[in-house]
Amino acid sequence: MADDLAIEATGLAKSYGKLKVLTGVDLRVAPGTVFSLLGPNGAGKTTAVRILATLMRPDAGTARVAGHDVVAQRHLVRRRISLTGQYAAVDGLQTGFENLRMMGRLSGLSRGAANHRAGELLERFGLTAAAHRRVGTYSGGMRRRLDLAAGLVGQPAVIFLDEPTTGLDLPSRQAMWEVIGGLVDAGVTVFLTTQYLEEADQLADRIAVVDHGRVVAEGSPAELKRRFGDQRLDLDLSSGDAWRAAFALLGDRVVQHDAERLTLGVTTDGSAAHVRSVLDEIDPHRSAVRRFSLHSATLDDVFLTLTASSSKEPAHV
């Protein structure tokens, strides 16, 4: 395994009885970057995080985090990582300062050092004004920021964020994005799972898409969008019959569809020749398509394309 990687996993496999959750996952994460793991519910994202964070042993495969084996050296891994889950794990009866001071003392800091670190983190996360308020009075976004701050008391090299902005409104999510960006600027490696694809697009240097327990594609957001549909042709069909006929004809090329609105989204290279070819294919009599428009592909398009069928072979770009 490479010593210059923050995270490296090879052939990770995990089953629960007869249910295979991971079936040979390979991951490589450079230090000081944001790596995002995407996938539908049940794809194995949280299981992968739990293995890498030493909370679960793999059935097969190997992994190293911050230079240490997650099974044989899990105590060393735990000294170098932080894990923040979907729900804030802070004490609502204590103040923000008291929460962070407690974490500092539990991490082995002296009373003075714990007080200093708590104040430093409260300022860094924009919580100084609320430092001596009971956490139970905090908003959801403030609690998430405090939870992330608590995970940084020990100055970890790698932070695992498992859907850290779930349930937050857009302003709170954007505030968390700024915090995560600041962590990377400070040299921390962030391993992120999220259900918000625009979040991965905004933050991630590199993305892996996992489906049915295996990685089906990996690359930067821009690379994935170029590889799996740099442009999307949106079609507005004239009737239900026309919509069904076009949907059946286009097959795997469809990346978005809405039967009620009679719309379809199709991958295209964006050229006039290809757009004309698609229109001629599905509407030779010029009566099925009412209107069309061309858009840049999004990660939503990539995600839907990659997870639409479990029979696709893994693709790396």
Report whether pLDDT(174) > 70: yes
User: What pLDDT score does 87 carry?
Assistant: 60
Q: What does the pLDDT look like over 100-123, one tens digit per residue?
A: 999 889 888 899 999 999 998 898
User: What pLDDT score does 268 carry?
Assistant: 83
pLDDT band at 273 (very low <50, low <70, confident <90, very high): very high
pTM of the entire predicted model:
0.74
pLDDT band at 229 (very low <50, low <70, confident <90, very high): low
Domain architecture of the chain: domains with CATH: 7-225 (3.40.50.300), 231-296 (3.30.70)
What is the full DSSP assignment across the chain?
Answer: --TT-SEEEEEEEEEETTEEEEEEEEEEE-TTSEEEEE--TTSSHHHHHHHHTTSS--SEEEEEETTEETTTTHHHHHHHEEEE-SS----TTSBHHHHHHHHHHHTT--HHHHHHHHHHHHHHTT-GGGTTSBGGGS-HHHHHHHHHHHHTTT--SEEEEESTTTT--HHHHHHHHHHHHHHHHTT-EEEEE-S-HHHHHHH-SEEEEEETTEEEEEE-HHHHHHHTTSEEEEEEESSHHHHHHHHHHHGGGEEEEETTTTEEEEEE---HHHHHHHHHHH-TTS-SEEEEEEEE--HHHHHHHHHS-TTPPPEE-
